[in-house]
């Protein structure tokens, strides 16, 4: 248990000192982590754990939707994609289908990888 406190302190500090761009990247990575956990739980027929992890992904997607700066046209397109992802997560939760989670995982990987590229580009131009 002594290990847990320093790890939690590090994680809290990482979040508190992260830039908005880094926080978005953390959200994408968190969503991917919880999708993997939900898929594993479905495979093990631990549907309570699948539900728990699915809800975490849904919450992350809702956070991404809320924090979009919708004054930019691309944000509207992202919002629609997030909305689609959220709906698919609801379906995956109801049906307990790993195939739906695979689809969502692919979309979030694309978002994450594009976000990483944008951050790198902003760093070289800034």
The domain in which residue 121 lies consists of 20-125
Q: How many domains does the chain have?
A: 1
SS3 of 68-108: the string is: CCCCCHHHHHHHHHHHHHHHHHHHHHHHCCHHHHHHHHHHH
In a domain, 3, yes or no: no
Task: Supply the pLDDT for residue 17.
Answer: 76
Q: Which residues does 104 contact at the CB level (< 8 Å), separation at least 6?
A: 35, 57, 85, 88, 89, 92
The two three-digit tokens of residue 58, written as one number:
């849904």
In a domain, 24, yes or no: yes
In a domain, 55, yes or no: yes
In a domain, 117, yes or no: yes
Q: What is the CATH number of the domain that holds 87?
A: 1.20.120.340
Asked if residues 71 and 52 have their Cβ atoms less than 8 Å apart, the reply is no
In a domain, 85, yes or no: yes
Rounded CA-CA distance 65/63 in Å is 5
pLDDT in tens for each of the 126 residues of the chain? 556 676 666 556 566 778 989 999 999 999 999 999 999 999 999 999 999 999 999 999 999 999 999 999 999 999 999 999 999 999 999 999 999 999 999 999 999 999 999 999 988 886
The model's pTM is 0.86
Rounded CA-CA distance 84/103 in Å is 11
In a domain, 15, yes or no: no
């Amino acid at each position: 248990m002594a290990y847990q406190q320093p790890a939690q302190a590090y994680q809290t500090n990482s979040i508190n000192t992260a830039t908005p761009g880094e926080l978005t990247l953390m959200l994408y990575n968190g969503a991917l982590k919880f999708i993997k956990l939900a898929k594993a739980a479905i495979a093990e027929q631990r549907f309570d754990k699948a539900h728990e992890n699915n809800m975490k992904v849904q919450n992350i997607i809702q956070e991404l939707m809320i924090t979009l700066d919708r004054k930019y046209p691309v944000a509207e397109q992202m919002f629609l994609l997030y909305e689609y992802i959220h709906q698919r997560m609801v379906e995956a939760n109801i049906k307990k289908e790993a195939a739906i989670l695979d689809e969502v995982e692919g979309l979030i990987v694309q978002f994450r990888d594009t976000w990483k590229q944008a951050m790198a580009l902003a760093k070289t131009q800034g």
